[in-house]
Structures are given as structure tokens and as C-alpha cells.
Amino acid sequence: MKVVITYGTFDLFHIGHVRLLKRLRMLGDKLIVGVSSDEFNLKKGKKSIFSYEERSEIVNSSKYVDLVFPEYTWEQKREDIIYYNANVFGIGSDWIGKFDDLKDICEVIYLERTEGISSTYIKSVLSLS
Ligand code: C2G
């Protein structure tokens, strides 16, 4: 059983998120996702529109996702990977190189971001309408 793990805010769930989760799921047999808590979001400098409860329910509704858990800190990844026996850590290419320190306990993969879409872009379009 090959377990893939990833993390993110996943606010205003959009096609970029879907395509990332789909590709990550194809790398293994199970995909587990750490969804950033509202508090951790603020530490990331993000103010999400939807709460952690709503964002995690939306991510969990994806057919590509098997399990969702809260992401509270930058540092919890190593412990999570060990706890969930994850074989692959994957994330979008905007993070390239940032999590190479995890390579001693799992495969680390950066997948191409989907161009032209982001939660920030959606907010900007909505604020203009
Ligand atoms: N993503 C993507 N294409 C986009 C937008 C996002 O592939 N157009 C990917 C990001 O690269 C990330 C995931 O979707 O892998 C979630 O993106 P965000 O919700 O912006 O999360 P982020 O702030 O990158 O959080 O500890 C890691 C952080 O929690 C990652």
C-alpha cells in the first residue's frame, strides 16, 4: 500500500487543487491531506474565506482523497509521514526544494502548478464584480 501525503490551505477549492490531488493520488494507492488550520493559515499570511471545517469537508469530498487531518505547524510533516507510513510527499512546484529535508524518510515530489488559477485570483475577480 503506497501512501501519498500532501498539505495545503485549499481555500475556494478550484481546478488547480483538483488537478494536483488527482495527480498525487495517481502516484500511489492512498492520498492523505493535511489541511491548514485557520490559525496556521494566519501564520502563513493567509486569511481564508472558508473555515478549516468547511475546507477540510470540501477536500474530503474529493474522490482522490482518502483522509484529511489538520495541519497546525510547518514542523509536523516529519511526524505525520512516520505516523501515517507515507511513502511519498508531494506538493505543487511553487514549493520546489522547500521540503527536500524529508528525503531521508520518503520520496519528495513537486508537481507542476496549474497556471492561471489561484484562490487569490478568484478573490480579485470577485471583488471586481
Ligand atoms: N496548487 C496548484 N495549482 C494552483 C494552485 C495551487 O497545483 N493553481 C497546489 C499548490 O502548489 C499546493 C496545493 O495546490 O500544493 C494547495 O495550494 P494552497 O491551498 O495554496 O496551499 P499552500 O499555501 O501552498 O499550502 O505546509 C505546506 C502548505 O500548507 C502548503
Q: What is the ipTM of this complex?
A: 0.98
Residue 71 C-alpha to ligand 1 middle, in angstroms?
13
In angstroms, what CA-CA distances link 104 with 8, 42, 67, 88, 112?
22, 29, 24, 11, 23
Cell 493559515 -> residue: 41
| Span from the CA of 45 to the centroid of ligand 1 (angstroms) | 14
Q: What is the pLDDT of residue 128?
A: 74
- Please state the pTM of the whole predicted model: 0.97
Distance of CA 85 to the CA centre of its chain: 17
Q: Is 123 a catalytic residue?
A: no
In a structure prediction context, what are the per-residue pLDDT tens digits for the chain, which is 129 residues long?
999 999 999 999 999 999 999 999 999 999 999 999 999 999 999 999 999 999 999 999 999 999 999 999 999 999 999 999 999 999 999 999 999 999 999 999 999 999 999 999 999 999 976
